Amino acid sequence: MLRSILLALSQSPRTARFVIHNNLSRRVVRRFVAGEHLDDAVAAVRALNQAGRLASLDCLGESVATEDEARRAAAAYSGMFDRIASEKLICNVSLKLTQLGLDMSQPLCEELLAGIVNRAAGQGNFVRIDMESSAYTDRTIDICKRLRARTDSVGTVVQSYLFRTEQDARGLIAAGCRLRLVKGAYKEPATVAFPQKSDVDANYVKVMKILLTSGIYHGIATHDPRMLDATRQFATEQGIRNEQFEFQMLYGIRTDLQEQLIREGYRLRVYVPYGSDWFPYFMRRLAERPANLRFFLSNLFRRG
């Protein structure tokens, strides 16, 4: 129930105005969002790299309303690769297709994405296409497969809360795609997604095993200690080496687990979001984990 309320509030302009314009809330948000500018994100990535972590940069933003907005977003992403190279960061880039105009024009979106992926390929880097709600799953997979047929510098995400994910993962693996496995953060109807957390978790473990035995380098993205333990146990049983996959976590969340995985010799990539359009992302993080909400509320109403 609480998760549903928070996801609904993520679409509320009134709630957005309150949170965005509250100075206390903006300070708390910095735990989860590196800042509003690329310089902020670069500084965060540099610190992560120095601590032995890989990173993935994301300029926050979702559906755009005009072609000009889509082209500006694409230019920002292409420019990230130049900055990553000049700063010698160990970092790739994650992006959403709706930010590149998918809701307006799929040909425009594919044109812009191809330019970004070409820039990444030219610098030996990688683009991760984030998965959005189930309304975009088919188009995201189709676009990823078409681009993957031309370059290995692109991959996407699969979400274990969707019924279809095992089949999607197998198809994407057959196309040679590198995948990030997540549970899923959008509100979905029971017609397409598992309503019970136990079923989401069971599907996560099932798909994780498919990924790790595929021979392709994938990302296992979770903050759930049980999913981490299941992955480590399976990798050990199957003789899968630490360098054959990576764990992934979100900026500012479960840093204790991040440090533990680094100490144990695993590869860990931290997803580093930045930008002024942070409200929907922030609300999804609160919905995912009660501890995040408690942290936010305790700091929001703290005096002094």
Question: pLDDT, tens digit, for every residue of 178-188?
Answer: 999 999 988 89
Strand partners, 297: none
Q: CA 57, CA 77: separation in Å to the nearest integer?
A: 9
For residue 55, what are the contacts with CB-CB under 8 A and spacing of at least 6? 44, 45, 48, 49, 89, 90, 91, 92, 269, 270, 271, 272
Q: Which of 130, 148, 201, 285 is catalytic?
A: 130
Task: Please state the three-class secondary structure of the chain as a single string.
Answer: CHHHHHHHHCCCHHHHHHHHCCHHHHHHHCCCCCCCCHHHHHHHHHHHHHCCCEEEEEECCCCCCCHHHHHHHHHHHHHHHHHHHHHCCCEEEEECHHHHCCCCCHHHHHHHHHHHHHHHHHCCCCEEECCCCHHHHHHHHHHHHHHHCCCCCEEEEEECCECCHHHHHHHHHHCCCEEEEECCCCCCCCCCECCCHHHHHHHHHHHHHHHHCCCCCEEEECCCHHHHHHHHHHHHHHCCCHHHEEEEEECCCCHHHHHHHHHCCCCEEEEEEECCCCHHHHHHHHHHCHHHHHHHHHHHCCCC
pLDDT in tens, 241-252: 999 999 999 998
Average pLDDT over residues 201-215: 98
Poorest-pLDDT segment among 4-8, 229-233, 240-244, 278-282: 4-8
Q: Which CATH number fits domain 37-277: 3.40.630.10, 3.40.50.300, 3.30.360.10, 3.20.20.220?
A: 3.20.20.220
Give ranges for CATH 3.20.20.220 in the chain: 37-277
With 90 as the cut, is the pLDDT of residue 123 above it?
Answer: yes
**Residue 24 — very low, low, confident or very high, per pLDDT cuts 50/70/90?**
low
Confirm whether pTM is higher than 0.85.
yes
Respond yes or no: is residue 130 known to be catalytic.
yes
Average pLDDT over residues 36-65: 94
Which one-letter amino acid corresponds to residue 280?
P
With 70 as the cut, is the pLDDT of residue 266 above it?
Answer: yes
With 90 as the cut, is the pLDDT of residue 261 above it?
Answer: yes
**Residue 26 — very low, low, confident or very high, per pLDDT cuts 50/70/90?**
low
**Residue 275 — very low, low, confident or very high, per pLDDT cuts 50/70/90?**
confident
Whole-number pLDDT of residue 252 = 87
Respond yes or no: is residue 229 known to be catalytic.
no
Q: Which of 180, 254, 267, 285 is catalytic?
A: 180
pLDDT in tens, 61-115: 877 999 999 999 999 999 999 999 999 999 999 999 999 999 999 999 999 999 9
Strand partners, 248: 221, 269
Average pLDDT over residues 135-153: 98
